[in-house]
């Protein structure tokens, strides 16, 4: 199951999510953060490793939610954060 959730401001992997700083940085994927919560974090991580050469943010525990999360870029350059549905 994948649940869409609104991201909040915090430290950790999501601290470095892209922002739209001006028209000169308006390349595809800049300024948008996709955030998914998944029931099987380990399976999602394994799948991500098979799809991309490198993760944008390695697995870590979000100190605010206690959930594990990681980030990657999709083929169009969008920043995608995946988070476990429940705390680690």
Torsional sign, CA 64, 57, 81, 83: negative
pLDDT for 42-57, tens place per residue? Answer: 999 999 999 999 999 9
- Counting the structural domains of the chain, the total is 1
This prediction has a pTM of 0.69
Sheet order of strands, 2-4 included: 2-4, 33-38, 79-84, 68-73, 57-61
Range of the structural domain that residue 76 is part of: 2-84
10 Å Cβ neighbour count for 72? 19
pLDDT for 13-68, tens place per residue? Answer: 445 555 556 666 666 666 678 999 999 999 999 999 999 999 999 999 999 999 99
Q: Which CATH number is 19's domain given? A: 3.30.720.110
């Amino acid at each position: 199951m994948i649940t869409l959730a609104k991201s909040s401001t915090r430290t950790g992997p999501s601290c470095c999510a892209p922002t739209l700083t001006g028209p000169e940085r308006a390349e595809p994927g800049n300024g948008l953060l996709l955030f998914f919560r998944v029931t099987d974090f380990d399976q999602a991580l394994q799948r991500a490793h098979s799809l991309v050469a490198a993760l944008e943010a390695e697995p870590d525990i979000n100190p605010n939610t206690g959930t594990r999360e990681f980030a990657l870029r999709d083929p169009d350059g969008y920043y995608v954060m995946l988070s476990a549905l429940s705390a680690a």
